[in-house]
């Protein structure tokens, strides 16, 4: 007991919050409380005597009983003691600060105070002094008590304060604490509705007003309260109906004009906060536009730009303007893919059926954001936390029967028997096999040309007259030395190892002028053993695309030599997004500055390219190309629209297009305006890729990371809810980047990630075949034909037996199988580069490679979705579906590659040869590093917190070994990012189906970042093809280690690899949140700290210290959101 407490104890009731306990030390009998109160107080005191050991629950119960008694007492006699108590409490809290308030709250003090308030309000007239004191205390306690609003409502205290306010509008002394309490009340959404009904919105509008140096603290609190009230749609509507939107805009301008020394930032921000909440409803946005809000906020923001401390105002203004920017549909006749592919049949349900049954005009955008909503919908949102909690675990599979491997074979063996022909190695006896000429083992080369169409290198069209247009590549090879070669200048000097040391600016097209020069293909044979331009063109001829492409893009033709310089993850420049958004808003403010000139349009298929020599020239009519439309907005700014996946109306993310006709040194800005994901690694340092033909012929044929001022944000384009598949008018996002070109007459290509076409795969496979050594057993089969008529390659790689001795053949046939696949998602080209690394390693001559081949039989489907790749899709096959969601029951007609790949695995399972490892390579657009997803019953159950059942589950932990090895040997790989939880949304993916139906314990998805690494040797660097290929090779090395570890003798020495307990703890906390939107699910659910979408946290708020010192104490939620924004 300290001195302070003993002083006040004479008054009777005292919360001794300084020592963390509640005491009622010597309640005098003068107050007439009966002996029962004394008894309880005695109990409480004894409890508190045991200091911190006191059971809080008992203390709370006793407090409640006392409270009850005080109440009963209060009804009978005038509660004389109240003012003193309140006074003392207030005094204590003032002295003690936050911790004391916290203790008071934890001991149930809020309830007592609210009861006192009620008791006091029953006096008539209420004592002004007492009300003032009570509100002052409540204003301090409220922000510390998360349930304050609820308690106040349940106690019936809300209207006490509202009524007091109504009667004391001219009494600033009482007004301030009342407003402070109301501010806390209003932060509860149910309270906000109720307070609005009682006229609090109108009251606030009576208090706030134009610039004045008086009562600024009061004004600030009123604005905060109003802002909180306006979060309720009913209140927002009320404010719009009474024409308060122009009032707010007027007041804002007035403060903007008069607060020249920026001392009242918080007030200005408070006004914007009200506007921000009102404009959450459609009526509010309309009122804002009618009141010329766009121009007003644009102008005030522009004037604020030079003052850094005003950033919060600019950011909030920008948020409001973006929200109110009238929604537009995309500048397209329809958002359905520009290309159509007739399906053998339309699937009975699902997205494609829906697409085909859509009425015309579904693309049309109306502002649907608050249609059909009514006041009831707002009530009872008090369980928000609980909801969040549930939502987090929503996607995790909780049905244990679904998690247990299914034992029974799903198909009769007779049906699977036809797949025997893909497993010749399992019965191969090599009788009559000529070991001196082992290439005879090869059957079915994938790449036999099927047709001989005319192929053109595309971009010569874009070159000035001295470069003859297009190079028809009919029949056999040419390009360089035929009668009409495209003549690009430049001498090609492939330099081993040294290629790429120079900055890309150094050399270039200056050496034009030599009329006689011919196009020299960079001689990359030494650097790129698997690349051959002529072979590439041959491969293209047999590739079938829906648009029947007849052009070849230079990068695919020349090949890509990975640069040797480092490409760092970009630091985000402050204010970039804001600048870009303001430029977008200017389109509305200054419509006359906008050109709106269509320069490329695939919807006009006869002549998509517009070329008047004044604009950039675009093209994407080549394999994997994706650009639907280009619109010149300003002289150096272009809006680009991507095509949907075929038989779909969305999945825009992958892009690959060509640009020519550029001005050297001009600051071009490109905006891809129909991105769909809510966030992107483009916000976290990822750059686009560019390939310059001039650089290539100058000896640097390569993709480089490029682009400045890159950012990704929600824009004003959207689609109707029907078109969006039932989701309320979904908005699109803009990915913007700026670019200056270094070479005149260049042809440049831009891509989302390093392109890797189907023709490239075929070329690589053929080269691998040619480079094969006699030790390698390689078979290439065509697993099946795709919907588009392309072959799906299946590779078998293992070591040749040394002889035909029984032992050798037996060992050969009985090697465990490893099954690998990649590129089910066409936009994830990184998966193909990883696969290339794997294939090259497997076919290599190193002793490790030989050991690996001797250890396993590899079955590889390197491209599960050739059609998607060929046609520039991002996610789907020609059936308009995500093939990695079809593994549960693939259709042989609509999903042939999945159907037959699954059949191979079913066949293996049926003959008791299920693979030791299954791994499907993917790319990940929202996370850094390379990592794996696996399947664990136990870890899944663990995440769902059904601990009761988890103890009797037995599971071999072997599924962790491979990722663990990878984390030790592969620099890009991160164990911390791995997850072994089975989610419901993934139940039809390869990984889960192979695990559950085939019983393959080591069934994985390996995800490679599209961006870069934030750990390990490559920390801070963007990922390139070299690192991706290395990853593929390291995967092989890891398999070799796995082999050794699965040998019991070795296991003892590697026990640390199986030290999973610590890993469990590591990963346990990372529960991935659900993602219902199909685009976002494989690419997780992972959002980095900052959300750049328009609805939330868009403002990086930096509250300056200079602001309103009178009212420096922010409510909890305010200070939290600031902290969050700053982290």
User: Where in the sequence numbering do the catalytic residues fall?
Assistant: 1007
Asked whether 1 and 19 are in contact (CB, 8 A), the reply is yes
> Is 432 exposed, middle or buried (CB count within 10 Å of its CB: 0-12, 13-18, 19+)?
exposed
Q: How far apart are CA 835 and CA 1028, in angstroms?
A: 9
Q: How far apart are CA 1018 and CA 435, in angstroms?
A: 44
Fill in the per-residue mask, 827 to 866: x = in contact with Zn ion (CB under 5 A), - = not in contact. -x--------------------------------------
Stretch that binds Zn ion, among 416-424, 430-438, 562-570, 922-930 (CB under 5 A): 922-930
Instruction: Assign 842 to helix, strand or coil.
Output: helix
Stretch that binds Zn ion, among 135-143, 815-823, 919-927, 964-972 (CB under 5 A): 919-927
Residue 545 or 1005 with smaller CB distance to Zn ion: 1005
Residue 216 or 886 with smaller CB distance to Zn ion: 886
Q: State CA 585 to chain mean position distance.
A: 25
CA-wise closest residue to 334 among 37, 545, 44, 641: 641
Fill in the per-residue mask, 798 to 827: x = in contact with Zn ion (CB under 5 A), - = not in contact. ---------------------------x--
Q: How far apart are CA 91 and CA 85, in angstroms?
A: 10
Residue 485 or 827 with smaller CB distance to Zn ion: 827
745 part of the interface to Zn ion, by CB under 5 A: no
567 contact partners, CB below 8 Å, separation of at least 6: 687, 704, 705, 1021, 1022, 1024
Shortest distance in whole angstroms from residue 1030 CB to Zn ion: 20
Alpha-carbon radius of gyration of the chain: 35
Residue 561 or 831 with smaller CB distance to Zn ion: 831
Residue 933 or 942 with smaller CB distance to Zn ion: 933
Q: Residues 1007, 1010, 1011, CA angle at the centre, nearest 5°?
A: 120
Residue 136 or 865 with smaller CB distance to Zn ion: 865
Site residues for Zn ion, 598-627, by CB under 5 A, read: none
Shortest distance in whole angstroms from residue 400 CB to Zn ion: 27
Shortest distance in whole angstroms from residue 753 CB to Zn ion: 12
1082 part of the interface to Zn ion, by CB under 5 A: yes
Buried b (16+ CB within 10 A) or exposed e, 1018-1044: beebbbbbebbbbbbbbbbbbbbbbbe
Dihedral in degrees, nearest 10, Cα atoms 323, 326, 332, 335: 50
Residue 231 or 924 with smaller CB distance to Zn ion: 924
Residues that bind Zn ion (rule: CB under 5 A) add up to a total of: 4
276 part of the interface to Zn ion, by CB under 5 A: no
922 part of the interface to Zn ion, by CB under 5 A: yes
Site residues for Zn ion, 178-217, by CB under 5 A, read: none
Shortest distance in whole angstroms from residue 863 CB to Zn ion: 13
Stretch that binds Zn ion, among 159-167, 777-785, 917-925, 938-946 (CB under 5 A): 917-925
Residue 861 or 1060 with smaller CB distance to Zn ion: 861
Q: How far apart are CA 157 and CA 131, in angstroms?
A: 12
Site residues for Zn ion, 383-402, by CB under 5 A, read: none
Tokens of 106: 């934890």
- Name the residue whose CB lies closest to Zn ion: 922
Stretch that binds Zn ion, among 182-190, 740-748, 885-893, 1082-1090 (CB under 5 A): 1082-1090
Stretch that binds Zn ion, among 161-169, 358-366, 783-791, 918-926 (CB under 5 A): 918-926
Q: State CA 374 to chain mean position distance.
A: 31
Any idea which residue has 């040997």 for tokens? 969
Shortest distance in whole angstroms from residue 1006 CB to Zn ion: 10
Query: Got the DSSP string for 435-450?
Result: TTSGGGG----TT---
Site residues for Zn ion, 91-150, by CB under 5 A, read: none
Asked whether 730 and 677 are in contact (CB, 8 A), the reply is no
Q: What is the pairing mode between strands 857-861 and 817-822?
A: parallel
User: How many alpha carbons lie under 13 Å from residue 114 in its C-beta half-sphere?
Assistant: 24
Stretch that binds Zn ion, among 283-291, 332-340, 510-518, 915-923 (CB under 5 A): 915-923
Shortest distance in whole angstroms from residue 651 CB to Zn ion: 12
122 contact partners, CB below 8 Å, separation of at least 6: none
Q: How far apart are CA 81 and CA 120, in angstroms?
A: 11
Any idea which residue has 């190309």 for tokens? 625
Phi and psi at residue 456, to the nearest 5° = -125, 140
Stretch that binds Zn ion, among 46-54, 173-181, 437-445, 1075-1083 (CB under 5 A): 1075-1083
Shortest distance in whole angstroms from residue 922 CB to Zn ion: 3
Q: How far apart are CA 1007 and CA 92, in angstroms?
A: 58
Shortest distance in whole angstroms from residue 831 CB to Zn ion: 7
153 part of the interface to Zn ion, by CB under 5 A: no
Asked whether 948 and 1108 are in contact (CB, 8 A), the reply is no
CA-wise closest residue to 159 among 213, 124, 112, 122: 122
Shortest distance in whole angstroms from residue 963 CB to Zn ion: 17
Q: How far apart are CA 104 and CA 89, in angstroms?
A: 9
Stretch that binds Zn ion, among 349-357, 678-686, 836-844, 1080-1088 (CB under 5 A): 1080-1088
Shortest distance in whole angstroms from residue 968 CB to Zn ion: 25
Question: To which H or E segment does residue 691 belong?
Answer: strand 688-692
Residue 541 or 825 with smaller CB distance to Zn ion: 825
Shortest distance in whole angstroms from residue 396 CB to Zn ion: 20
Question: To which H or E segment does residue 779 belong?
Answer: strand 776-785
Residue 588 or 1078 with smaller CB distance to Zn ion: 1078
Residue 610 or 1078 with smaller CB distance to Zn ion: 1078
Interface residue list for Zn ion (CB under 5 A): 825, 828, 922, 1082
């Amino acid at each position: 007991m300290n001195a302070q407490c003993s002083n006040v104890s004479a008054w009777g009731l005292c919360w001794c919050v300084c020592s963390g306990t509640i005491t009622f030390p010597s309640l005098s009998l003068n107050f007439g409380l009966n002996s029962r109160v004394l008894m309880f107080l005695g109990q409480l005191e004894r409890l508190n005597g045991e200091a911190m050991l006191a059971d809080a629950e008992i203390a709370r119960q006793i407090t409640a009983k006392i409270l009850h008694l005080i109440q009963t007492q209060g009804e009978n006699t005038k509660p004389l003691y109240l003012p003193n108590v309140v006074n003392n409490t207030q005094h204590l809290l003032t002295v003690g600060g936050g911790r004391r308030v916290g203790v008071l709250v934890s001991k149930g003090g809020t309830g007592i105070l609210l009861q006192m308030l009620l008791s006091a309000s029953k006096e008539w007239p209420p004592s002004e002094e007492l009300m003032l004191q009570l509100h002052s205390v409540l204003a301090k306690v409220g922000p510390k008590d998360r349930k304050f609003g609820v308690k106040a409502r349940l106690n019936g205290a809300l209207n006490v304060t509202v009524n007091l306010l109504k009667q004391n509008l001219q009494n600033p002394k009482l007004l301030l604490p009342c407003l402070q309490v109301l501010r806390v009340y209003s932060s509860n959404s149910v309270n906000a509705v109720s307070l609005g009904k009682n006229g609090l919105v109108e009251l606030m509008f009576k208090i706030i007003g134009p610039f004045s140096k008086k009562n600024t603290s009061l004004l600030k609190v009123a604005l905060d309260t109003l802002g909180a009230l306006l979060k309720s749609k009913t209140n927002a509507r009320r404010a719009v109906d009474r024409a308060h939107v122009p009032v707010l805009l007027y007041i804002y301008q007035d403060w903007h004009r008069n607060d020249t020394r920026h001392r009242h930032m918080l007030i200005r921000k408070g006004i914007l906060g009200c506007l921000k909440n009102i404009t959450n409803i459609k009526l509010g946005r309309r009122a804002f536009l009618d009141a010329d809000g766009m121009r007003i906020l644009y102008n005030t923001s522009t004037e604020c730009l030079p003052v850094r401390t005003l950033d919060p105002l600019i950011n909030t203004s920008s948020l409001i303007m973006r929200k109110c920017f009238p929604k537009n549909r995309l500048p397209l006749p329809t958002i359905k893919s520009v290309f159509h592919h007739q399906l053998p049949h339309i699937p009975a349900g699902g997205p494609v059926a829906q697409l085909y049954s859509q009425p015309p005009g579904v693309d049309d955008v109306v502002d649907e954001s608050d249609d059909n909503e009514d006041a009831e919908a707002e009530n009872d949102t008090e369980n928000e936390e609980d909801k969040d909690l549930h939502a987090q675990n929503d996607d995790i599979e909780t049905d244990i029967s679904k998690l247990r491997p299914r034992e029974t074979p799903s198909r009769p063996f007779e049906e699977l028997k036809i797949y025997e022909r893909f497993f010749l190695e399992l019965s191969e006896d090599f009788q009559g096999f000529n070991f001196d000429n082992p290439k005879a083992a090869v059957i079915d080369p994938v790449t036999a040309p099927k047709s001989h169409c005319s192929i053109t290198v595309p971009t010569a069209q874009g070159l000035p007259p001295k470069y003859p247009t297009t190079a028809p590549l009919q029949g056999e090879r040419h390009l360089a030395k035929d009668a009409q070669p495209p003549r690009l200048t430049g001498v090609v000097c492939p330099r081993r190892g040294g290629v790429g040391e120079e900055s890309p600016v150094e050399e270039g097209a200056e050496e034009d002028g030599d009329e006689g020069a011919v196009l020299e293909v960079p001689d990359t044979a030494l650097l790129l053993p698997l690349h051959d331009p002529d072979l590439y063109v041959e491969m293209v001829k047999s590739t079938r695309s829906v648009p029947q492409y007849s052009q070849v893009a230079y990068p695919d033709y020349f090949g890509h030599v990975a640069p040797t310089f480092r490409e760092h993850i970009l630091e985000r420049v402050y204010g970039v997004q804001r600048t870009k958004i303001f430029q977008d808003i200017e389109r509305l403010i200054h419509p006359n500055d906008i050109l709106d000139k269509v320069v490329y349009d695939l919807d006009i298929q006869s002549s998509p390219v517009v070329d008047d020599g004044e604009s950039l020239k675009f093209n994407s009519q080549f394999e994997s190309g994706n650009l639907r439309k280009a619109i010149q907005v300003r002289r150096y700014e272009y809006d680009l629209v991507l095509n949907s996946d075929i038989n779909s109306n969305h999945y825009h993310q992958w892009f690959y297009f060509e640009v020519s006709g550029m001005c050297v040194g001009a600051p071009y800005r490109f905006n891809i305006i129909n991105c769909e994901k809510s966030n992107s690694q483009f916000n976290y340092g990822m750059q686009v890729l560019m390939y310059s033909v001039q650089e290539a012929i100058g000896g640097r044929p390569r993709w480089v990371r490029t682009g400045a001022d890159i950012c990704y944000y929600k824009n004003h384009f959207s689609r109707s809810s029907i078109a969006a598949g039932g989701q309320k008018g979904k908005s699109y996002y803009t990915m913007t980047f700026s670019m200056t070109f270094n070479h005149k007459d260049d042809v440049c290509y831009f891509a989302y990630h390093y392109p890797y076409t189907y023709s490239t795969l075929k070329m690589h496979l053929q080269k691998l075949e040619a480079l094969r050594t006699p030790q390698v057993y390689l078979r290439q089969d065509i697993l099946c034909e795709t919907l588009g008529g392309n072959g799906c390659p299946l590779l078998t790689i293992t070591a040749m037996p040394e002889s035909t001795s029984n032992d050798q053949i037996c060992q050969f046939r009985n090697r465990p199988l490893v099954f690998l696949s990649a590129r089910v998602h066409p936009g994830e080209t990184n998966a193909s580069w990883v696969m290339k690394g794997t294939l090259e390693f497997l076919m290599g001559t190193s002793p490790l490679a030989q050991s690996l081949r001797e250890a396993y039989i590899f079955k590889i489907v390197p491209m599960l979705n050739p059609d998607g790749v060929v046609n520039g899709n991002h996610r789907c096959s020609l059936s308009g579906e995500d093939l990695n969601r079809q593994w549960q029951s693939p259709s042989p007609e609509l999903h042939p590659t999945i159907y037959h790949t699954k059949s191979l695995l079913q066949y293996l399972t049926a003959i008791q040869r299920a693979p030791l490892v299954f791994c499907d390579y993917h790319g990940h657009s929202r996370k850094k590093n390379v990592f794996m997803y696996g399947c664990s019953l136990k870890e899944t159950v663990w995440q769902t917190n059904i601990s009761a059942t988890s103890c009797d589950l037995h599971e071999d932990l072997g599924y962790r070994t491979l990722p663990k090895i990878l984390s030790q040997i592969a620099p890009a790989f991160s164990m911390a990012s791995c997850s072994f939880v089975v989610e419901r949304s993934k139940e039809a993916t390869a990984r889960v189906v192979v695990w559950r139906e085939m019983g393959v314990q080591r069934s994985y998805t390996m995800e490679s970042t599209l961006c870069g690494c934030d750990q390990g040797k490559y920390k801070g660097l963007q990922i390139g093809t070299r690192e991706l290929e290395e990853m593929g090779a390291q995967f092989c090395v890891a398999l070799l280690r796995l082999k050794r570890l699965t040998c019991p003798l070795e296991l003892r020495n590697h026990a640390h690899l199986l030290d999973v307990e610590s890993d469990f703890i590591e990963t346990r906390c990372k529960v991935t949140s659900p993602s219902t939107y199909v685009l976002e699910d494989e690419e997780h659910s992972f959002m980095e700290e900052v959300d750049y979408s328009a609805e939330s946290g868009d403002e990086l708020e930096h509250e300056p210290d200079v602001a309103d010192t009178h009212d420096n104490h922010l409510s909890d939620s305010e200070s939290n959101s600031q902290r969050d924004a700053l982290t």
